[in-house]
Amino acid sequence: MSRRQVSKLFFEPVIENQVVEYSYDGTEKHAPKATLNETTADMARRIDWRTIIGPDDTLEPLYSLRNLRISNETPEVSLEESDAQHAEKVKDMLEPDAGPWALVAKQLHTALAEVNNLLDVVRIAKDGNGIKVASVAPNSDGINKVADEAASAKVFTWTANRKALIESRKVFQPFIESRRDVADLDLFYKELREIRKFYVVRKNGECLVGDLGYRTYGNKWIPAESFDIFRVEECLRSKGIKHNDERVKTMVEVDVPRHLAVRTSLFVTIVFDGTGDDLFEKRDIRMLKKQPNNGNPPSPDGEINEDMLEEMESNGEKPNLSRMAYWMNALRWARETLVYRDLFTQLTRECASLVGRSCSIKDNIIVINLFENVMLKIEKCESPFVDGELAEHGNAFLKGILKAYFYDELRTPPYKPSVFVSLPNQRTTLPDAMLGPFATEAYKIEKRCVQPKPLVMKILAVASHYFLVKKVTEDLLEFQRTYGDPVLSWKWQRVTTENSLMHANFYLRGQDAITQFTIRITTDDIEIVPRDGHPISCGRDNVPFNMNLHLQRANFLLAMTVTLVTRLNYKLLQLNINQQDSNGRPAPTIFILNSNATRQIFIQFFSNGATPSIATRQILDYVPDDASEFDLKDADFTPIDLDRIPGSSFMKQVDNLLSFLNN
């Protein structure tokens, strides 16, 4: 078999870079690939510019002033002379390359020129020859000619640029108009999406309808709670609509029902009976900003305030205020009106069946008795459907709690959902399972199925607790400001809407000993729980609360005095924490004897905030055989004025007194 012939193939690049150097070992050093600038410069060298611009023209810009200087007196020159002149001009324009110090040399040359110019100015100002006015003006025909040519060139440039801008405006104007329409359409759909975030919207033919209701779901709408959505052109509202003290552009108008086109507010306040104030006095909440009216009719561009509204109503006009307001404000005000009306209607219905509390309803005002002379006032007020901040007259916390309870009832289903409860497998038969529906007694079922409290009872409980908490807090702050020895401190441990708990303690500055007690506040009672755990009920009156607070202070001072007596080696004769003063109030006492058995000291602490009283007496010496000759009665106690005893606190004064009497 003959062998096949094999052909040798060599693969080499079509274009190779130029070889710059051959080394002794045969290595070739190629030139780097040309850049874009080098390629462009190489191609530019191959162009014959004389054939393009003509033999008589220069390579300078056509708008240069050098080409404008045309003189009729200039003789004609040949082509060679013009080339030589042009080469000299180009040579003058090119900066010489003087190496790395060319920039330094240029800066030095510029500085030298500035110095020479400054010297010339100084010389002329000194001699005065350059400031003198010449008698004969020089010939300025050449200067004026050049200036006119420059001005005409500028005018030509401005005119050409203006025409170019006009032509470009004609080209881009249709595009700008189309983009403006698209932007307006985008703004409308953007606002429509914002409406759909909070309200149900559907389209009926060519109309857009929304729902303000909050009790209906699905397609079941109440016609009296629906609103219409309209699209308006931007030209009708060139200044925009005021929203949050700012002008915003909008293309949406809403038309809410007329019975909801009013701003409604609900105020919850705790008032006191017997102060002489009228509890059923209506409040004016129309705190709107006044805007001067210059006789111009109101337009959608401006604000509609109270003065404009009264003027329009006096003229017999009935404006649609909901379409004049910003759509976000209009829908929010209409929803608040609907919610507050339903809330007030439910409270009125529940107050009619209220048992155990006096209640009065008059002119959209509900007054319910909380305690002896404390009332809860719930008032519904209405104001015009115009922009402006409404004054808040009631308690913001109670109003928020009332709305929260109302919304919680809306979210709670009216029935308990049925669930499957699995039971463990067992063989024995349950006796209750054989009884069927009679397995559990009726009272047990009723006890487990607690009926929900009415809304009015919930807000009454919260208002009562809020009033007692506020009273306790004010009493504690007043106690801290009045009595600084010992120091009272307190902090909250648990805070709820109907039951709160705080920890309080007395302590002396610079000492670790403290006395702790707890204050418990419910809806109808205030309790102080000492360390022994027996609660002391103070009711709803601040008088027993302050008395028990002073009693805890007295017990703390008594305990600190006992500690001091033990440290100074005094003998404790009697300690009575159940002692009472002349008015029947608690006043614990302590009776001690010094170490030498020569002095007795009696200290009594009061629960009315008075300063503790200290009295002392001296023990008389007598002989038992001569007892009949002497009056054996003890000497009377001598009261001691604490203001005359040195010491910054009560315990330091007692310490100084006991140290003095112990000797």
Across 469-496, average pLDDT? 92
Sorting pLDDT into bands at 50, 70 and 90, what band is 221? confident
Look at residue 129 in the predicted model and tell me its pLDDT. 57
Sorting pLDDT into bands at 50, 70 and 90, what band is 12? low
Of 152-166, 459-473, 528-542, least confident by mean pLDDT is 152-166
Sorting pLDDT into bands at 50, 70 and 90, what band is 478? very high
Look at residue 348 in the predicted model and tell me its pLDDT. 93
Look at residue 390 in the predicted model and tell me its pLDDT. 79
Of 129-143, 185-199, 610-624, least confident by mean pLDDT is 129-143
Across 421-444, average pLDDT? 64
Across 655-660, average pLDDT? 89
Residue 527: how many other CB atoms lie within 10 Å: 17
Residues whose CB falls within 8 Å of the CB of residue 609, separated by 6 or more in sequence, listed in order: 482, 483, 546, 550
Query: Does 120 have pLDDT greater than 50?
Result: yes
More confident position, 301 or 180: 180
Q: Give the bridge partners for 640, in sequence order.
A: 614
Question: Rounded to whole angstroms, what are the CA distances from 298 to 306, 321, 450, 592?
Answer: 12, 11, 58, 89
Query: Does 281 have pLDDT greater than 70?
Result: yes
More confident position, 73 or 361: 361
E strand segments, 522-662: 526-529, 536-537, 571-576, 589-593, 599-604, 613-618, 638-640
Across 165-177, average pLDDT? 75
Of 511-520, 558-567, 584-593, least confident by mean pLDDT is 511-520
| Mean pLDDT of all residues belonging to the chain | 77
Of 77-81, 199-203, 593-597, least confident by mean pLDDT is 77-81
Residues whose CB falls within 8 Å of the CB of residue 463, separated by 6 or more in sequence, listed in order: 268, 270, 370, 376, 398
Query: Does 286 have pLDDT greater than 60?
Result: no
More confident position, 173 or 286: 173
Q: Give the bridge partners for 209, in sequence order.
A: 202, 228
pTM over 0.85: no
Between helix 327-352 and helix 141-198 the angle, nearest 10°, is 30
Q: How many helices (H) and strands (E) does the chain have?
A: 14, 22
Question: Rounded to whole angstroms, what are the CA distances from 389 to 283, 383, 386, 466?
Answer: 15, 11, 10, 27
Tens-place pLDDT, residues 222-278: 888 889 998 887 655 555 566 666 677 888 889 999 889 888 989 999 999 877 777
Across 136-150, average pLDDT? 59
Tens-place pLDDT, residues 341-391: 999 999 999 998 888 888 999 888 999 999 888 999 999 988 888 877 777
Look at residue 214 in the predicted model and tell me its pLDDT. 85
Query: Does 404 have pLDDT greater than 60?
Result: yes
Largest CA distance in the chain: 170
Query: Does 113 have pLDDT greater than 90?
Result: no
Residue 232: what are its φ and ψ, rounded to 5°?
Answer: -120, 155
Look at residue 300 in the predicted model and tell me its pLDDT. 37
Query: What is the distance between the terminal CA atoms of the chain, rounded to a whole angstrom?
Result: 144
